[in-house]
Amino acid sequence: MPMNKSRIVLVILALVLGIFLVFFWKGDNISQPDVDSRYKDASLSIEERVSHLLSQMTLDEKIGQMALVEKNSIHNKEDVSRYGLGGIVSGAGGKPANNTPEGWLHMVTEYGEISRGTRLGIPALYGVDAIHGHGNVPGATIFPHAIGLGATRDRALVEKIAQATAEEVRATGIFWVFSPNLDTPQDIRWGRTYEAFSGDPKTNADLGAAYIRGLQGTATGTVEILATAKHYLGAGGMQWGSSSNKDFKIDQGRTPPDEKILRTIYLPPFRAAIDAGALSVMVGLNSWGDEKISANKYLITDVLKNELGFSGFVVSDWYGVYEIPGGEYTAAVTAIHAGIDMVMLPFDYKTFIKNVKKAVRKGDIPEERIDDAVRRILRAKFAVGLFEKTSVGDLEVIGGEEHRELAREAVRKSLVLLKNQNNALPIDKNISPIIVAGTAADNVGRQSGAWTVEWQGIDGNWLPGGTSILEGLRRAVANRGNILYDEQANFNLANKAPIGIAIVGEKPYAEGWGDSDNLKLSDEDLEIIEKVKNASTKIIIIIVSGRPLDIKNESKNWDGVIAAWLPGSEGQGVADVLFGDYIFSGTLPFRWDL
Ligand code: BGC
């Protein structure tokens, strides 16, 4: 059938419209207003940039910024831009397929690029637990865990260590770390005792602030990397047996609701952290009284934000928000209402985004609260220069000589001499033979502890570039050949050796998996010690552990006892002091009864 005139006109119009669409319409501008990109101008003040950007954001874009998702839970990488996710977390052990510094840089850069591909191009923050160096990355410098740094009481050293950590982290394109840990453990049975500097609020405030200065840096005026003061608040004060997690005893437990104690023991390190400019604070998984901290508006909004004047953002801990009773909707509403700005979900984000949107529509969460949360997140993103930079530095810096030297210095300053009789210490390098044994002697994995490549660490002598304590001793005596080593202390000597060293302690553990009311040495370690003792005239015990151990019954039979904490990759620092090249200067971060 031939077309009539009006049909021909319609077809022509459709064609013209089609051509117009193909050439002139950029799909995402259809329903979105033009973007005013002044917020990308780094010469404006942070507050101006935040305001410009925030004023252009849709509700969906704002809610996306509040989601922090575990990278293994993002099955389709494009979801990062589709949902405009605010942050991505590699939980401990959340590694790339190619688990090398290059592999990390590649993975983080890819997520960064995807996140920039949105209408407004807001980069996602990538966060990791660099709690004793860039511990996720094989080949990074592993510094002593915080308990060892606490023993040094050396603010300047702690600041330098944080700086070095920031350099290694930034080289992999990451600008956010979940440290320092500012908990003040009052019960060493807690599996996180070693993550804290000490059991004393003042030390934790001092060293925590130094650590934040080191990470965030101030020299150039811009923030180098975002620190996270954690875990707000009362972590370390939980009661034994009160954990909300059936597998744990004290971790994620209940801190008694005594406000005076809260303010005198647990709050001071956070006050110092805020004064030092910390831009994020992580809320703990514990409860205060019967309420999970992440639901506690008084502590998060009234005390932290209003009273202490914290202007950065508050992030919740691993799945913590969903431990608030009442189901996912109520939990999200309660946490955001309490003052959580970014929610570490970490597995699901679609339901969270849907629920928060519904809550805003229903009036269960006022839009001003969303704006406040996003403003805080954007403020930190601008402060760290996330819109301007991708990776900073050179991968060569990771595990570099200078950082390893610094770690070695930290190890020697962290050693605490618990006992020295019969002039057992220092040891003469020329004495022969020196017998060495023990499960922690030649075991870089054990001396590094947990949060090293894997969440629970890896027991065994591995870790590229690390030096075991035994190897350090061998190097210290150079070619003298006077060190005899057998892990199990099966020595067949005609005469007793003048010195025997047993290096023993705890296997790696993280979080509640380390909760324990048995802090004695293992039977295996005690047996080794016995054998060393029978084979030597004087015996020195080096304890590698995340907390003071119960050695009351045995220590009277030993000549020397050294607390080495979890020294990390540079075991050589132990030999430095053992042979008297340096003096013992560490002081106890927790009480240790002999
Ligand atoms: C820990 C936090 C850590 C987070 C991310 C949680 O299990 O409690 O300290 O930052 O995981 O890995």
Integer Rg of the chain from CA: 27
User: What confidence category does residue 391 fall into, taking pLDDT thresholds of 50, 70 and 90?
Assistant: confident
DSSP H helical ranges for 85-125: 101-116
pLDDT of 389 strictly over 80? yes
Looking at residues 139-147, what average pLDDT do you find? 98
Q: Is 511 among the catalytic positions?
A: yes
Mean pLDDT for 117-137 is 98
* Residue 127 CA to ligand 1 centre (angstroms): 11
Sheet holding 483-485, edge to edge: 416-420, 560-565, 536-544, 497-505, 434-437, 483-485
Confidence band (pLDDT; 50, 70, 90) for 92? Answer: confident
Query: Which residues are CB-contacts of 496 (< 8 A; sequence separation ≥ 6)?
Result: 535, 536, 537
Kind and range of the H or E run holding 231: strand 228-232
With a 6 Å cutoff on the Cβ, whether 129 touches ligand 1 is yes
pLDDT at residue number 20 = 44
The CB of 91 under 6 Å from ligand 1? The reply is yes
Mutate to test the pocket of ligand 1, among 183, 317, 321 (most ligand atoms within 8 A of CB): 317
Q: What pLDDT is recorded for position 30? A: 40
Ligand 1 atom nearest to 284, measured from its CA: 8
Which residue type, as a one-letter code, is found at position 241? G
Is 455 touching ligand 1 by the criterion CB < 6 Å? no
For residue 480, the 8-state DSSP code is G
The Cα 590–Cα 150 span in angstroms is 9
Q: What is the pLDDT of residue 21?
A: 43
- Kindly report the protein residue whose alpha carbon is nearest to atom 2 of ligand 1: 317
**Ligand 1 in reach of 232 Cβ (< 6 A):** no
Q: What is the 3-state secondary structure (H, E, C) of 382-402?
A: HHCCCCCCCCCCCHHHCCCHH
**% of the chain exceeding 70 in pLDDT:** 94
CA atoms within 13 Å, Cβ hemisphere of 444 = 24
pLDDT for res 56: 98
Q: What is the pLDDT of residue 93?
A: 81
Q: State the DSSP code for 123.
A: P
pLDDT digits (tens, 9 = 90+) for 9-55: 555 555 555 444 444 443 333 446 689 999 999 999 999 999 999 99
Choosing from 70, 206, 291, 317, which is the catalytic residue? 317
Q: Does position 3 have pLDDT exceeding 90, yes or no?
A: no
| Cα distance from N-terminal residue to C-terminal residue, the chain | 105
- pLDDT given for residue 9 in this prediction: 54
Pairing of strands 536-544, 560-565: parallel
**Ligand 1 lined by 318 (C-beta under 6 Å):** yes
- What was the pLDDT predicted at 28? 39
Does the CB atom of residue 92 touch ligand 1 within 6 A?
A: yes
Identified catalytic residue from 129, 159, 511, 515? 511
- Nearest atom in ligand 1 to the alpha carbon of residue 231 is 9
Per residue in 372-381, pLDDT (tens digit) is 999 999 999 9
Residues 419-475 pLDDT 10s:
999 999 999 999 999 999 999 999 999 999 999 999 999 999 989 999 999 999 999
Q: Is the pLDDT of residue 7 over 90?
A: no
**Residue 323 in contact with ligand 1 by CB distance below 6 A:** no
pLDDT tens per residue, range 479-506: 899 999 999 999 999 999 999 999 999 9
Tally Cβ neighbours within 10 Å of residue 203.
Answer: 21
Gap between the Cα atoms of 147 and 193, Å rounded: 8
The closest residue, in CA terms, to atom 7 on ligand 1 is: 318
Q: How far is the CA of 404 from the centre of ligand 1 (A)?
A: 26
What are 322-361's pLDDT values in tens digits?
A: 999 999 999 999 999 999 999 999 999 999 999 999 999 9
